[in-house]
């Protein structure tokens, strides 16, 4: 079977936005709440408080997002919900009125598309919430409800709020707030398929699927793919799977997953022993213990060999998300760790994803702290911003960085060097994670050109010999990286 994935994703740089935290609209808008008691924007986020970010605020920020070089946005859930993160869905057909409702989303979607920015929504299809109308009917009417078989009811009475009694229904991760759907019920399956179709027809460019591994019904995700792709063959389907995802990446289900298998080793290599262990140990992606270059090369080769190349090019690569601490906090505030990891992210095959605020040095521990309000410009780290802007621009300028072959050239001690090649375009990327300068002498007869122009970073570069015996001498300062191209 020939695997097909959406071409645009191979050229995308994603920006992940948590809608309550990016921006409050500054323009006068027709809204339901005018005197809302929002949490202070700058205050540490709480589990239940809202900061009042909305879709109009994101619309007003599209110029900034576009100027950064972003051409795709992944939103965490936007549907009506009684939680600031909106993973507790009340109504899958209504954008939350606090965000501006369906009208605000249509305006934002159209404005994004005018800028050639794609939009991917979060699909929370494993579970709903206590406020979901169908489950609420069960709470009101018990065994008489027509919706009983939509959920995994184990006995009566249901206890949705009190911990003293058994819940008597299955919730995701035993959470009473998140009643799990009964996907074996054909009506439930059809309902979810129709939601997926509705928003693809509305104009979204794909779905990010929350905990899809929890859905055990045979054929569910195969049908999901068929029905979504029948409407838009270029729609992107990306699953939240943290580990080995081969069973979902066979070409019949997802186009990619959130690539935590890239994130873990990359942070362990770039940040090394600076990693603050209590910020990562309760998560599944293991950016520890510290890795040297040879170990990092081995891990990266493992990741690249797991899936077909067509899938590798549509993986969603990341360093942080709403489910992890932010990299600045993980690395104990060490800025070179940010630069080195971001360089590795933006030169890796697959679609890189920047978590809103990471590009301006926003700190944050494990959630809810990693979901802070996007900072005022006066609080931006301009160095980190410049790093992101330069590297995103280089990726968008050089097709080899997006879809070129990935070949490790050198991996010893603290120095890691690889090439991205596409046709006649050859780029060399080098990273020194050590605290001393690092030098390598490489025989590069395999390259047709001599990349000698520094496109990014600082390094001493010298080429020797004829094409058949050409050698590169490369010296990198400590805790830096560079990209070489042909002048």
For 469, counting Cβ atoms within 10 Å of its Cβ (0-12 exposed, 13-18 middle, 19+ buried), the class is: exposed
CA separation for the pair 88, 97 (Å, rounded): 15
Strands 480-485 and 316-318 turn out to be unpaired
CA separation for the pair 250, 311 (Å, rounded): 9
Between the two ends of the chain, the Cα-to-Cα distance in Å is 41
CA separation for the pair 369, 364 (Å, rounded): 5
Those residues whose C-beta lies under 8 Å from the C-beta of residue 444, and which sit 6 or more positions away, are 409, 470, 471, 472
Largest CA distance in the chain: 84
DSSP per residue, 116-129: T-EEEEEE--SB--
| Given the residues 210, 323, 334, 339, the one annotated as active site | 210
Taking each helix axis from N to C end, the angle separating 220-231 and 186-202, rounded to the nearest 10 degrees, works out to: 30
DSSP state of 138: H
Token pair belonging to 327: 């990299």
Is 409 in contact with 390 (CB distance < 8 Å)? no
Cis ω for the linkage preceding 127 (within 30 of 0): no
Q: Is 240 designated active site?
A: yes
Closest CA to 374 of 386, 364, 387, 388: 364
Alpha carbon distances (Å) from 282 to 214, 338, 458: 20, 21, 37
| Given the residues 240, 334, 339, 426, the one annotated as active site | 240
Strand partners of residue 439: 475
- Among positive and negative, which fits the CA dihedral 426, 431, 437, 442? negative
Strand partners of residue 418: 408, 429
Closest CA to 33 of 93, 106, 101: 101
CB atoms within 10 A of CB 240: 20
DSSP state of 59: H
CA separation for the pair 357, 369 (Å, rounded): 13
Catalytic residue positions? 210, 240
């Amino acid at each position: 079977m020939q695997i097909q994935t959406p071409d645009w994703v191979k050229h995308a740089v994603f920006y992940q936005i948590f809608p309550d935290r990016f921006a409050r609209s500054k323009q006068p808008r027709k809204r339901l709440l005018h005197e809302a008691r929002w949490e202070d924007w700058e205050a540490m986020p709480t589990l239940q408080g809202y900061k009042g970010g909305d879709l109009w605020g994101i619309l007003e920020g599209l110029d900034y997002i576009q100027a950064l070089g972003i051409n795709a946005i992944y939103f965490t859930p936007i549907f009506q919900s009684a939680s600031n993160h909106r993973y507790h869905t009340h109504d899958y057909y209504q954008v939350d009125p606090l965000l501006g409702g369906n009208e605000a989303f249509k305006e934002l979607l159209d404005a994004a598309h005018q800028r050639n920015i794609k939009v991917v929504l979060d699909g929370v299809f494993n579970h709903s919430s206590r406020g979901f109308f169908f489950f609420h009917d069960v709470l009101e009417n018990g065994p008489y409800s027509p919706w009983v078989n939509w959920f995994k009811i184990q006995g009566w009475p249901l206890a949705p709020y009190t911990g003293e009694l058994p819940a008597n229904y299955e919730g995701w991760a035993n959470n009473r707030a998140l009643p799990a759907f009964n996907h074996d019920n054909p009506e439930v399956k059809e309902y979810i398929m129709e939601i997926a179709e509705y928003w693809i027809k509305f104009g979204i460019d794909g779905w990010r699927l929350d905990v899809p591994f929890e859905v055990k019904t045979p054929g569910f995700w195969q049908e999901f793919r068929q029905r979504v792709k029948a409407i838009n063959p270029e729609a992107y389907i990306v699953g939240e799977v943290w580990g080995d995802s081969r069973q979902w990446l066979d070409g019949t289900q997802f186009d990619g997953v959130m690539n935590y298998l890239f994130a873990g080793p990359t942070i362990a290599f770039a940040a090394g022993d600076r990693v603050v262990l209590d910020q990562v140990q309760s998560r599944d992606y293991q950016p520890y213990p510290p890795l040297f270059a040879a170990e990092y090369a081995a891990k990266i080769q493992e990741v690249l060999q797991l899936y077909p190349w067509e899938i590798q090019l549509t993986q969603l690569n990341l360093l942080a998300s709403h489910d992890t601490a932010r990299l600045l906090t993980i690395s104990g505030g060490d800025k070179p760790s940010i630069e080195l990891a971001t360089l590795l992210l933006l030169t890796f095959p697959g679609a890189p994803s920047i978590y809103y605020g990471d590009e301006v040095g926003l700190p944050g521990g494990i959630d809810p702290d990693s979901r802070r309000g996007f900072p005022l410009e006066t609080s931006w780290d301009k160095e980190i911003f410049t790093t992101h802007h330069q590297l995103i621009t280089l990726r968008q300028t050089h097709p080899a960085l997006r879809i070129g072959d990935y070949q490790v050239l050198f991996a010893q001690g603290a120095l890691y060097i690889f090439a991205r090649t596409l046709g006649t375009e050859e780029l060399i990327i080098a990273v020194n994670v050590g605290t001393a300068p690092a030098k390598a002498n490489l025989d590069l007869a395999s390259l047709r050109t001599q990349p000698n122009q520094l496109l990014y970073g600082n390094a001493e570069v010298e080429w020797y010999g004829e094409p058949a015996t050409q050698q590169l001498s490369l010296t990198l300062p400590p805790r830096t990286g560079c990209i070489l191209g042909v002048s």
